[in-house]
Chains A and B, each alone.
Chain A
Amino acid sequence: MNSKYTLLVCDGASCKTTHKANLAAGFKKVIAEKKLGEFVSVVKTGCFGICGQGPIVKVLPDDLLYVSVKQTDIEEIVEEHIKNGNVVKRLLYTDPFTQEPVEKQKGKKIYQKQFRIALRNCGLINPEDITEYIAVRGYEALASVLADKTPIEVVELMKKSKLRGRGGGGFPTGLKWEFTAKQPGNEKYVICNADEGDPGAFMDRSVLEGDPHSVLEAMAIAGYAIGASQGYIYVRAEYPLAIHRLNIAMEQAREYGFLGKNIFSSGFDFDIDIRLGAGAFVCGEETALIHSMEGQRGEPTKKPPFPSVSGFRKKPTSVNNVETFANIPAIVLNGADWFASIGTENSKGTKVFALAGKINNIGLVEVPMGTTLREIIYDIGGGMVNNKEFKAVQSGGPSGGVIPKEHLDTPIDYESLKQIGSMMGSGGLIVLDEDDDIVQLAKFYLDFTQDESCGKCTPCRIGTKRMYEILDRLTKLEGSPDDLDILEDLAVNIKNSALCGLGQSAPNPVLSTMEYFKDEYEAYAYRKVKHTYSIITDKCIGCTKCARVCPVECISGSVKVPHVIDESLCIACGACYTACPVNAIEKP
């Protein structure tokens, strides 16, 4: 279905009922009569949202809206616009403020006050129906790029927008594309990194499930910019729904001619395939990801050479994250200046954060760079569960660190987070309250990294294991004050000597918690921590609730008689503490 024009005829409920006649069928009939079938395709879409002026017909790639189209206007639109290339001015959309007819839909400033860029369509369109994506200006960015811009101009646009990689590292996307585009050869690849492995991050999954086409469209734009005709989405097998939606989206995009050969009759070919991850965290690192796609162990390799020089199948490859891609169609449609006007000096645009943990409004938020944590947690996140006291927020997953109370007012961007010992990472924010044990949290992360270490380099393979052992010793009250120095030494050494980004950042959870919560480490080191729960006999009413919830059955006692916890068996899970109706349980 590669035609010069695509007519998008609104099939929303409002337009359909305004004029009972079937406009799409009318267009098809007239086009067939005039034998213009090979130049134009007719597509029914979802609602355009300006139902007051319906029915709406949109013409691609011209990006122009005809409003209040009647059955009697069909002949004129086809004859003038499609056949002769003249705009039918009397039917154009009129700007409500200036009363001027708007030829290009781009002129509208609707997005300026919106802070949902990457998530702009999530929840608003049906992700399994391409027409709904088209109705929100979907594939318009691709069409306009193919029609009006050279690949170099696209790269320049990205550079000007100052978009930085949203996967964690924050490398400027435009530069990455430029490096890849400048490499010699015709065989290049675009890869979408959807191996979202950070525990507590789920924005990539949401984008893929809620707006898969925006990623496909952006990948095609990337392909055009760097000179690639094949793209791959590397998605973790833990996300079955995202994979399902992507498959549907790709099939529909091919059907509409947005993927495949000769897209928008521009001579540009581009198609996309899915590759599945098989449960290895390290594959989120780009060189490891590429090895995994090649059917090998997902071990990282030393950079340089960077993937932009020698990547998938040893060819120049640009690897970008899902959220990064989701920003791109919006940047093309609204311009680089618009994007660069949002955010802080060095971090432009918005960032999606996944709020989780002890916070009231758990979920995704998209805010301009430079928003403070306090705003995110208290204004957007609705504050702490049960009004408990805020202790810290863990950002950046196993590569990041904790941010304590005193830094709540730091405006968040790539640099400021690094300065306070954390990192942007993929944007997971796990909120901790007064009940959470910081050392246990650090141990949890180290358990994760030592388990996920690919084993290629010694600092990461053995170093993280030793760090974990020290933390384990400390939390079992078997450690000593010397352990703290060894732990810190080890952490610094791993940070300086590991091969890839994951290894280098693995000690961060320990280093940052040691910086801000040294007293908790010391309490463990000097064995001052009481790490089991106990029952205050005077308060216990013998209701048996605690005994019933205890997962290790270490609470004994009979009805209406005070209960007792066997401290040698207690795993300090806190279930009894939550269950007790009379606050008779004492915390460690």
Chain B
Amino acid sequence: MLLDMILNKYPAQEDSLIEILLEFQDAKSSHFISEAEVKQIASYLQISEAKVCSVISFYTFFRTEQKGQHIIQVCRGVPCHVTADINIVKIIEKELGIKVDETTENKKFTLEYTSCLGLCDKAPVMRIDDKIYTNLTENKIKAILAEYRVYN
């Protein structure tokens, strides 16, 4: 099991909780942490489930609902907001037929906002999984999404 493998890499200390959650959620294809997994993590670290849940609910990175295979995060930093002549979110919403915080029916894409990605010199910016796309235009966004639809 994926979770067992990841747990074994970390010492059974409370310190490791956030690292474990980050690595596991990233590795898991549906990118979320289920109730059963919360239980398993809590018992491994010997802390209460409530404690694990409180950490999950605190950090915006952690998700408790099933997400798409690819997570699209649109930067919500001020420079992206001020510089952009185009509304990236609206374009993606239109392309995918979903709103922010929703997942496409085929579980391929989830659309989210993210805090500033620090690439303000190349605004507007979005991130798909670990890849960052900069200086976005409507055509560029369409081409990127098309590529993900076909190849990934």
Highest count of chain A CB atoms <10 Å: which of B62, B79, B94, B127? B79
Residues of chain B with a CB closer than 8 A to A204's CB: 118
* B91 x A293 contact (CB < 8 A): no
Minimum CB–CB distance for B98 against chain A, Å: 15
- In the complex, which of the residues B16, B60, B86 contacts A278, with contact meaning CB atoms closer than 8 Å? B60
- In the complex, which of the residues B15, B22, B77 contacts A276, with contact meaning CB atoms closer than 8 Å? B22
Interface residues as binary, A431-461 with B (CB distance below 8 Å gives 1, 0 otherwise) = 0100010000100110010001010000000
Interface residues as binary, A252-293 with B (CB distance below 8 Å gives 1, 0 otherwise) = 000000000000000000000001101111000000000011
The answer to the question of A240 belonging to the interface, with a C-beta cut-off of 8 Å to chain B, is yes
- In the complex, which of the residues A205, A294, A356, A551 contacts B14, with contact meaning CB atoms closer than 8 Å? A294
Contacts known (A237-B22, A238-B115, A276-B22); A356 close to B85, Cβ less than 8 A: no
- In the complex, which of the residues B58, B76, B85, B118 contacts A574, with contact meaning CB atoms closer than 8 Å? B85
* A197 x B116 contact (CB < 8 A): yes
The answer to the question of A573 belonging to the interface, with a C-beta cut-off of 8 Å to chain B, is yes
Interface residues on B, range: 35 or more
Contacts known (A276-B22, A575-B85); A200 close to B78, Cβ less than 8 A: yes
The answer to the question of B146 belonging to the interface, with a C-beta cut-off of 8 Å to chain A, is no
A346 to B24, CA, bound (A): 47
The answer to the question of A412 belonging to the interface, with a C-beta cut-off of 8 Å to chain B, is no
* B55 x A430 contact (CB < 8 A): no
* A551 x B22 contact (CB < 8 A): no
* A280 x B58 contact (CB < 8 A): yes
Residues of chain B with a CB closer than 8 A to A397's CB: 78
The answer to the question of B123 belonging to the interface, with a C-beta cut-off of 8 Å to chain A, is yes
The answer to the question of A26 belonging to the interface, with a C-beta cut-off of 8 Å to chain B, is no
- In the complex, which of the residues A198, A294, A362, A432 contacts B116, with contact meaning CB atoms closer than 8 Å? A198
Give the residue name and chain of the B residue nearest to A552 (CB).
Answer: B90
- In the complex, which of the residues B14, B22, B118, B120 contacts A239, with contact meaning CB atoms closer than 8 Å? B118
Interface residues as binary, A561-588 with B (CB distance below 8 Å gives 1, 0 otherwise) = 0000000000001110010000000000
A394 to B78, CA, bound (A): 10
**Interface stretch among A57-65, A145-153, A295-303, A323-331?**
A295-303
The answer to the question of B114 belonging to the interface, with a C-beta cut-off of 8 Å to chain A, is yes
Give the residue name and chain of the A residue nearest to B120 (CB).
Answer: A356
Residues of chain A with a CB closer than 8 A to B117's CB: 238
Interface residues on A, range: 35 or more
A362 to B61, CA, bound (A): 29
The answer to the question of B107 belonging to the interface, with a C-beta cut-off of 8 Å to chain A, is no
A551 to B94, CA, bound (A): 9
The answer to the question of B59 belonging to the interface, with a C-beta cut-off of 8 Å to chain A, is yes
- In the complex, which of the residues B22, B87, B119 contacts A575, with contact meaning CB atoms closer than 8 Å? B87
The answer to the question of B139 belonging to the interface, with a C-beta cut-off of 8 Å to chain A, is no
A48 to B121, CA, bound (A): 31
| Chain A residues numbered 506-554 whose CB sits less than 8 Å from any CB in chain B | 549, 551-552
Give the residue name and chain of the B residue nearest to A196 (CB).
Answer: B118
* A363 x B121 contact (CB < 8 A): yes
| Chain B residues numbered 95-152 whose CB sits less than 8 Å from any CB in chain A | 114-121, 123, 127, 130
| A/B interface sample: 19 pairs, CB < 8 A | A200-B120, A202-B118, A202-B120, A202-B121, A238-B114, A238-B118, A239-B118, A279-B115, A295-B13, A295-B17, A295-B18, A296-B17, A297-B55, A357-B78, A357-B79, A454-B58, A551-B87, A551-B90, A551-B94
Closest 5 CB pairs of A and B: A295-B17, A199-B77, A278-B59, A202-B118, A551-B90
Starting from the known contacts A297-B54, A356-B123, 19 additional A-B residue pairs (CB-CB under 8 Å) come to A196-B118, A199-B78, A201-B120, A202-B119, A278-B61, A279-B59, A279-B61, A295-B13, A295-B16, A295-B17, A295-B18, A298-B58, A356-B82, A357-B83, A397-B78, A444-B81, A551-B90, A551-B94, A573-B87
